[in-house]
Structure 1
Amino acid sequence: MGLTLDNCFSLMFVIFILLLPSLCFSQDYYVSSRATYYGSPDCLGTPTGACGYKAYGSTINGGEVSGVSRLFKNGTGCGACYQVRCKSPKHCSENGVKVVVTDHGEGDNTDFILSTRAYNKLALPGLAEALFSYGVVDVEYKRIPCQYSGYNLMFKVHEHSRFPDYLSLIPIYQAGVSEITAVEIWQEDCQEWVCMRRAYGAVWDMPNPPRGQPEGAINVRIQVTGSSGSKWVQLKNLIPSAWKVGAAYDTSIQLD
């Protein structure tokens, strides 16, 4: 029996749904959009971005960072890396610039609000001034893996934390294209994992956190979502029981 038009449509829909996760995370194609820029005295990023990265967010990737609109994804998009290039051959470099998402922002129908340093790299040498004069340019972008040579994934104790009553964590140097979609802490006395709350951006928090295991450290596990679905990764003894505000603790791993 041959396939009807309805059968073919249903089959194509099922195939699309099966391929959707890989399309979202392993993006080999460019998407058309628009980009603008924001000014800063040092041409770097901003330490007040919606992702909560503070000073890290202004200097990561050499300050070539971006605020995004819909790609922010309620904070899940924080730390993602994109290749962005403008589309006017007269002014634009072939490869454009790699940016890291550190903020949320809305522009004139733009997906990207680039730091001045990142916007400058969209242009061919000597043509940046002309590109800046446009204010908003047509671009195309794709998701690419983040790479941080010499760094593992770390969890930093956010500056808003107050030992020992309130713990706030933020992942930094997160490589690959996977996204952290949940963070939990082991509660020894109850023998269960307790969810941290996504406070905002990439910041996870918990009031009255566990005080650590008998060996003096707190176990953490993270849910990681990528092209192959979701999985839990356990980080044993990651946070010392006497944790310090501002300290960054090395996970000794890196995400895909």
Structure 2
Amino acid sequence: MQVRRGFSQVLSFCLFLVFECLFVSAQVKHLVSDPHWRPATATWYGSAEGDGSDGGACGYGSLVDVKPLRARVGSVSPVLFKNGVGCGACYKVRCLDRSICSRRAVTIIVTDECPGCSGAHFDLSGAAFGRMAISGEGGQLRNRGKLSVLYRRTPCKYPGRNIAFHVNEGSTGFWLSLLVEFEDGDGDVGSMHIREASSGQWLQMKHLWGANWCIIGGPLKGPFSVKLTTLSTGRTLSARDVIPRNWSPKATYTSRLNFFS
């Protein structure tokens, strides 16, 4: 009896370890945060205390001028822009010169591309660039122009906001284009699917440019559910009937959920 009981206890402990490892593995798979800082360079553009560009190669338009994107926008080199699928990703960036740089990092959101930039490079808004300085030295830091920095991925956080889908101008029942907004967590989109309410089939959308996706078919009839899969970790979220039956171009439709909600 004691041998059998001892075996049972050992077996239970082993099973516990297996399930614990599987749980930790699943958690690690879904982490976008990178603990490793990597070298890069950084510049700034626009006005000294400005929010950065209007619009940008990701297609966010006037969203870059208002919170939560305001003053956190960043134009990145092609290796980080990834032909547009890097749009929406968030990074922490900090400079290295202790004589003028703060130890804290700034968090930026990829909203634009710097096509002529090589390697890992961040072209930040004047406001974001200046925030890397110690108190009162933002102007002096901007005067240096180009800096050596460290960067790492970090989860995007949009408290109080859910994922939204902007129907792009020109969309019809035969060509539907969507812009993804306020995706927290990974921030980037690896694939998108759409489903008509009358159908059980998910239809794959095509990456168009920046954070814009489209589907050609038809006639497409709403309401539509939209499924997102992130590029970084492959997490999936489905927003049921988020785009109504009487949808219209240039309208934005907000879902009831987000990756961190």
Taking structure 2 as the reference length, the TM-score comes to 0.78
Deviation at 1:207, TM superposition (A): 3.5
Return the alpha-carbon distance in structure 1 between the equivalents of residues 161 and 128 of structure 2.
22
* Map of 2:229 onto structure 1: 223
Partner of 1:122: 132
Give yes or no for contact 1:85–1:97 (8 Å, CA) kept in 2: yes
- Report the identity percentage: 31
Answer yes or no: is the 8 Å Cα contact 2:174–2:219 preserved in 1.
no
For structure 2, the residue ranges without an aligned partner over 5 or more in a row are: 1-24
Higher strand content, 1 or 2: 1
Q: Which amino acid aligns with 2:41?
A: R
* Separation of aligned partners in 2, 1:130 and 1:89: 13
* Alpha-carbon distance in 1 for matches of 2:32, 2:253: 27
Residue 92 of structure 1 pairs with residue 101 of structure 2: yes
CA RMSD after TM alignment: 2.7
2:50 maps to which of 39, 43, 46: 43
Aligned length: 232
Describe how 1:1-256 pairs up with structure 2 within 5 A: 22=29, 25-40=32-47, 43-59=50-66, 60-69=68-77, 70-105=79-114, 106-107=116-117, 109-158=119-168, 160-177=169-186, 179-186=188-195, 192-208=201-217, 210-212=219-221, 216-227=222-233, 230-256=234-260
> Deviation digits for residues 153-211 of structure 1, max 9, x if unmatched?
111112x3334443211111111126321111225777532221111011011235553
Normalised TM-score (structure 1): 0.80
Q: What is the CA–CA distance in structure 1 between the aligned matches of 2:109 and 2:187, rounded to whole Å?
A: 14
Choose 1 or 2 for highest CA Rg: 2
Decide whether aligned partners of structure 1 residues 193 and 142 sit closer, same or farther in structure 2, where only a CA change above 3 A counts: same
Shift of the 178–226 alpha-carbon distance from structure 1 to 2, 3 Å rule, reads farther
Unaligned runs of 5+ in 1: 1-17
- When residues 234 and 195 of structure 1 are mapped into structure 2, their CA distance, relative to the original with a 3 A threshold, is same
In 2, the alpha carbon distance for the partners of 1:156 and 1:235 equals: 14
Deviation at 1:50, TM superposition (A): 0.9
CA distance in structure 1 between the aligned counterparts of 2:132 and 2:54, rounded to whole angstroms? 23
